[in-house]
Amino acid sequence: MTLSEIANEVSRLISAGAQLHRMPRAHLQFHLRLHREHIQATHRIFTQPHPRYRLIKNKTVGIALIDLRRFKTAEDYLDTVKKKDFAAYHAHKAKIRGYRVHHIDRNFFIDDIYDIHTSAETRQGRPMDDAYRIKETSFQNYPHFGYFGILDKREKLVGYCTMATLGNFAATERVIGHKNGDGFMYLLLTEIICSLIEEKTVSFLMYDTYLGAQPGLRNFKRKLGFSPYLVRYSVA
């Protein structure tokens, strides 16, 4: 770790500590009936000791959440992220450019997914994991997952999101797309959020960590309406 990276990490930790007392709290409940094996494994990962800060559990402090119960309709949510340079603003531009969101079967987009995975050497200032350089030959679909893709005017997949319903909350598993300025990843996420609000099957959407994210990704989450929470978990 360079001196600059150490300084940034120290600054981030100081900022996180200052925010702790102001963070809202959320009780997230896992439902084993959805998929016992996967739910149990995910619960273990979320509640094991944090890899850096062993005194706290992994996904409990500064977790990126949207409380979907705040919004009666999808329009209520969009009203909160419609100002210039926020999610709804960019999503609207992407729609004008011909991008559309669809439920997808990833097995029909294997080449496009590989193109997405290998389209950038680094993301958020970090080298891409070697696993992304391996071309998958097939994908397994799970009943408690949603698979969403963003297609351009040529029907080419340019980004996708896999999302698991885990109980009273859903959580993104992977969010990735080609890097350009068209705003289509905002369109992808806002449409997912809007559908969850209208369906009213979960109370929260999680997008990994907020305080632990790199600045660019944290800003992306902020513009979508995510904020940092203190989280406790239970299993039912």
21: how many CB neighbours lie within 10 A of its CB? Answer: 7
Say what the pLDDT of residue 125 is: 76
CA 209/CA 42 separation, integer angstroms: 15
The backbone region for 71, taken as left when phi is positive above 0, alpha when psi lies in -120 to 50, beta otherwise, is beta
Place of tokens 């050497």: 121
Tokens describing residue 97: 């450019």
Give φ, ψ of 221 to 5 degrees. -65, -40
Whole-number Å distance between alpha carbons of 43 and 69: 23
Strand partners, 25: 230
User: What pLDDT does residue 1 have?
Assistant: 46
Rg (CA), the chain: 18
Per residue of the chain (236 residues), what is the pLDDT tens digit?
Answer: 455 654 555 455 555 555 676 899 999 999 999 999 999 999 999 999 876 665 678 899 999 999 999 999 999 999 999 999 999 999 999 999 999 999 999 999 999 999 999 998 888 778 888 889 999 999 999 999 999 999 999 999 999 999 999 999 999 999 999 999 899 999 999 999 999 999 999 999 999 999 888 899 999 999 999 999 999 999 99
Contact call for residues 92 and 83 (beta carbons, < 8 A): no
What does the pLDDT read at residue 10?
47
Interatomic CA distance for residues 165 and 80, integer angstroms: 24
CATH (residue range 3-235): 3.40.630.30
**What pLDDT is recorded for position 12?**
52
